[in-house]
Structure formats: structure tokens, C-alpha cells
Amino acid sequence: MISQIFILSSKGDHLIYKDFRGDVGSDVQNIFYEKVTALTGDQPPIIMSHKGIYFIHIRQGGLYWVATTTTPDSSPFAVIEFLNRFAALLKDYCGSLSEKTVQLNFALIYELLDEVVDYGYIQTTSSDVLKNFIQTEAISSRPFSLFDLSNVGLFGAETQQSKVAPSSAATRPIQCSREQGGKSEIFVDVIERLSVVIGSNGVLMKADVEGEVRVKCYMPSCSEIRIGMNEEFSIGKAQLRGYGAAVHVDECSFHQSVRLDEFDSNRILRLCPSQGEQTVMQYQLSDNLPSVPPFRLFPTIERDNGGRLLMYLKLRCDLPPKSAAIFVCATIPVPKGSLSLSQELSSPDQSAELKLQSRSIQWQIPRFPGGTQLSALFKLEVPGLSSASMLEVGPFVLSFELPKVTITGLQIRFLRISPVQPSPSQRWVRYTTLSDSYAIRL
């Protein structure tokens, strides 16, 4: 049972507040923010309590999404799941999640809260059900501009770039499909998150891949889609069928709306997606990566005659030459008392900075093509540098994004819509691998 729901900005500004039962005071927003900011660490506990009031919150879009309850036996997992689904629902309606989006669409958010929660009891978060009751139209935080002609060629001719879906194409409100005359579009995203631990000798110690197939639908009418996957897609100890390159995962689960009558024989998922975003399949692979990890590090750490700490790092990208990693950021913890940093980088687009507060060096690489190698020489001024303090260096932690790449090799063979729509339908398939935790011991 939920007593209140409110949304706060990262600075504690009150954006949305809804009281369902009247059993908690109106100052809970300030109490919650004071408790969150008083805690040390980057991630405060999801569940907190104060004088019989239980705060359950998540962070999405840089905002705090908070529910309160006074019932000790309320399931926190059910409330967390509701908050995640409600945030996903607002993303479907508004196109994106941000402070500005919430401020522009406060009337829509209050109307949604009236429908999804009744006197503290959760009713539904289905966009198919709610579209029959919600009358308020979403306001986009980035209105269309006639001056945005980046994809238009001479005399309005179509350019090659216009044939590629922009990164913001799937972040518009689901109501836009009605405003645009029933334009049919569907996006299928294959997203994988990679966790890796590599020893100081370069040996892979642990590797995990968590993936999902996510569908975002802008179909004006209910149509069935058929998603064809690799024919040689095996789960667990299933036998390979010899149709092509093997794609193996340890575990796999499906959304309840997915029909699996053609999955065992032809590896085809069938479903009638609702407007908005939903995850139709999740899978996991542990330890047995089908290819080498995307990055390899060759470090040299020593102390020079002047007492400075020298770190010479060579980082190699083992992706195929036609692929590239983007937004690469390496974080290297350094000894306590580090004062200053001088650097020599192998290319001008790189940058590095000593973060005194977190006691680490951050090495930024905007784009890292496959099959190439970059290097950096860092010279640290550390008063009283000793052999013991040199052990405080590391591990080398990477964060990155790999567009058009899946670690498992999972591919979408085809994406079909039936029955055939009277108006042309556009179908987009995108692949992305993100780093969840990529640590290399030094």
C-alpha cells in the first residue's frame, strides 16, 4: 500500500507530489532529501525509514522517484517494480525522462497517477489500458524546428544519413503516432552489458554478459510482429543444429506476451506489442565468451629517480577493424596524497585529469577504432612515495559503448509485421554493448 508518490530533482526541487491516503505529513519530501544528502557514498540505500515512514526510491533521468508507506509488511520489491514501470510509462508518453520533461508534462503525470494508483493500491501500468482514459497530450521538450535540415540534401533530396534512424528517433512520445497520421514505426534494440575481470597477467578471470531484446512500438493499430533470431541460437545444454555460426547463452526468459510456438523450430518470436517500450527477451552468458574481450592493457608502473610515480599504459582495442568503441573512459585509482599530474598522450583527441576527491586519474577517449592501440604516460607527484603506496594503484576500470556490436553474436535475421499495414511501415534494428564492469588488475 502506497501512501505518497513524489518526484524530486537532483537538487531537491519539488516537481510532483501526490498524497493518496493522508496518513503522512506533507514535509516528507524535505525529510527524504535531507536523509539522502546526509549519507556518504554515490548510491544511497533504496529503502530508508524515519519515524514509522518507509521511503522507497529509484533514480532515473537524474530524478528521485519516491514512494512512501506506513505499512511495515508492504512488499518493497513490488513498490520498486511499480516505480520502474511508472518511470517507463512516463518515458513512453513523454519520449524522455528529465526535469524539464516533468515540468512541461505535470498535468499528464497527475492524470496518470490518478489512473495507476487508487487510494494507495496499484491498478495498472499498461499503456494499452491507459490510452482509453488519458486525454492530456504530452508536450515535447525538444519541439520540431524547420531549421533542422541536417538530413536534407540539395533541393530537398534524400541524403544517405536520412536513411539511418537518428539516436533520438525512439525517444518521442507514443502519442506522436496519432499526430503523424498513423505512421507505423517499430524499433528493436539488442542491448548487452558486459562485466569482465582480467588478472594482472592478462588472463581472463571472470566474464558475464547480460542481454535483452527491447521493442519500442509506434504502431497505430495492434499488429503482430515476428522477430527472427539466429537459427543456431542455443540455450543451456541444448543441442546445436548445424545451421550456421553458433550463438550460445546459459539462461533465457521471455515476456508473457511472447508466443513461443515457432521458437524451438525456427527461432522466431511472435508478439503483438503495445504502444511504448517493453523487454521481450532477457538472456545471460557466464565465463565462456565467444570472442576475446574488447580491450587489452599493457601497463608499466615504476618510480623514477625524482620520486615520481610513472605509469606507462598501452591500451589495445581488439574489436574488428570496421568497429569502434565510443565514450571510452578509464579510471585508475592512485596513492593517497597525490598532488599533481603531468601527461603525454598518443593522440590529441584524448584527455586526462587527476581527480583529487576520488583519488583517481580519468583518461577519456572519445572514439577508439578496432585493431588500433593508444598509449599514455602519466607522471604523478606523490610525497613520500613508497613500495607500499605503489600497491594502491589500480585496478584499471573501463567504461565504454560498442555500437553495432553484440558480444554473444546474437543477430536479428528479420523483422516482419502482419497483417501488412496499409501505410508504409519503418522497421529499425540496433545493436549496442555497454560496459557494466570492466576491471583489469595492475
Q: What is the pLDDT of residues 10-69, one digit of tens each?
A: 888 899 999 998 888 878 889 999 888 887 666 678 888 888 899 999 998 889 999 999
Can you give the pLDDT at residue 219? Answer: 73
- Kindly indicate the confidence band of residue 422, based on its pLDDT and cuts at 50, 70 and 90: low
Q: Which helix (H) or strand (E) holds 28?
A: helix 28-38
Question: Which three cell numbers, joined as nine digits, stand for 294?
Answer: 574488447
Residue 102 CB-density burial (10 A; 0-12 exposed, 13-18 middle, 19+ buried)? buried
Contact 21, 119 (CB under 8 A): yes
Alpha helices in 321-442 (DSSP H): 387-390
- Furthest-apart CA pair in the chain: how many Å? 76
Q: Give kind and range of the element (H or E) at residue 69.
A: strand 63-69
Q: Where are the alpha helices (DSSP H) in 131-231?
A: 176-179
pTM over 0.85: no
- Asked if 215 and 414 count as a contact pair (C-beta separation under 8 A), the reply is no
CATH 3.30.450.60 residue ranges in the chain? 4-131
CA separation for the pair 106, 309 (Å, rounded): 54
| Assigned superfamily of 185-291+405-440 | Mu homology domain, subdomain B (2.60.40.1170)
Listed in order, the ranges of the chain carrying CATH 2.60.40.1170 are 185-291+405-440, 295-403
Residue 172 has a pLDDT of 55
Cell of 98: 528529465
User: If you classify domain 295-403 with CATH, what class do you get?
Assistant: mainly beta
* Residue range 285-313: mean pLDDT, rounded: 89
Q: Which fold has domain 4-131?
A: Beta-Lactamase (3.30.450)
In this predicted model, what pLDDT tens digit does every residue of 323-353 receive, in sequence order? 999 999 999 999 988 888 999 999 999 999 9
One DSSP character per residue, 268-324 reads EEEE-PPSEEEEEEEEEEES--SS--SEEEEEEEEE-TTS-EEEEEEEEE-S-TT-E
pLDDT of residue 244: 59
